[in-house]
Structure 1
């Protein structure tokens, strides 16, 4: 049995069709086991014997769209991938906060790695790297100026389209903890 995290894009907890109980209901209806949610921003953990991740992503996204009208993307990572990412300690000595907003931007399974990382794209972002095993960009963003979108996030959208989703490092840690409970 595989332990997975589904990272859903475009979830607005204030939307009555996007509450954790409705999201979990879709996953339970698909026959997944040990379905749980992490925070209210579209992070669902579950177990399944299925091992074709792209097929799982398509199946879940189709069900979310059909049952709840959620057209955003679904990105899945296996527990082992996320655990290895945490164990690699990509943000040594840093603490998540306004001036050091630690982020992980996940690519859809099957998306190719970048030919090269962008140069430090703007003064608000420090690109830490790209983890090929977890298919994730890691960056430290200065979030002390609300309402500004760093150029790095725009570069990610231009390069990979809507097949990405970003989580804070704290959220990634919470997801792994939930997968291990």
Structure 2
């Protein structure tokens, strides 16, 4: 069995798309996933699965959430090895920064680096970003909510079908820990 994390995009934010974590755990258990654990209310769950791959598990979970809660939710599923590699490959000094200053935006598929090549990074200093394997690392010293670079990076839209969801560094590290048991 492989241990995964499911990252749900845009739930339990601003009173919309309510997905209670207890109900999410029950739903995932009913799908046949084992050891389901959630983290915070913002849409992270660790689980083990005997079948499928990241893409098929994400599709299965998104479909089940839509059916159960009545609205679509984008889902990205990643295994422990990938999550650990993302944390280890961070180009910024994560241990020296506050969690609110460092974020990882996970992509459901590879993104074209050319999309980001035209960003005048010097214009946004001290904020910075770097691309990795289906992830964008963002250093925003004043936090994501005040980041002009994050706002700029969110436009233009990604290629059709590519999902993006961001997590602060505490959550990045926690997901590595939560998925380590069955790795």
TM-score (norm 1): 0.83
Q: Specify the alignment match of 1:105 in structure 2.
A: 105
Q: Is the 8 A contact 1:4 1:45 kept in 2?
A: yes
Q: Specify the alignment match of 1:86 in structure 2.
A: 87
Q: Is the 8 A contact 2:103 2:168 kept in 1?
A: yes
Name the CA distance, whole Å, in 1 between partners of 2:104 and 2:77. 14
Name the CA distance, whole Å, in 2 between partners of 1:20 and 1:91. 32
Quote the RMSD (CA, aligned, Å).
2.5
Please identify, of 24-33 and 51-60, the stretch whose mean Cα deviation from structure 2 is larger.
51-60
Are 2:148 and 1:150 aligned?
yes
**Unpaired runs of at least 5, structure 2:** none
Name the CA distance, whole Å, in 2 between partners of 1:29 and 1:180. 23
Q: How does 1:1-181 map to 2 (within 5 A)?
A: 1-12=1-12, 17-92=18-93, 94-96=96-98, 101-108=101-108, 110-115=109-114, 116-117=116-117, 118-120=119-121, 122-123=124-125, 125-127=127-129, 129-132=130-133, 135-143=134-142, 148-160=146-158, 163-181=163-181
CA deviations on 1:131-171 (whole Å, 9 max, x unpaired) are 11xx1100111326x85452434423524267100000111
- The structure carrying a bigger helix percent of its residues is 2
Secondary structure at the counterpart of residue 40 of structure 1: coil
Secondary structure at the counterpart of residue 160 of structure 1: coil
How many residues in Structure 1 have an aligned counterpart in Structure 2?
Answer: 174
**Unpaired runs of at least 5, structure 1:** none
Name the CA distance, whole Å, in 2 between partners of 1:142 and 1:55. 36
Q: Is the 8 A contact 2:90 2:137 kept in 1?
A: no
TM-score (norm 2): 0.82
Secondary structure at the counterpart of residue 11 of structure 2: coil
Secondary structure at the counterpart of residue 72 of structure 1: coil
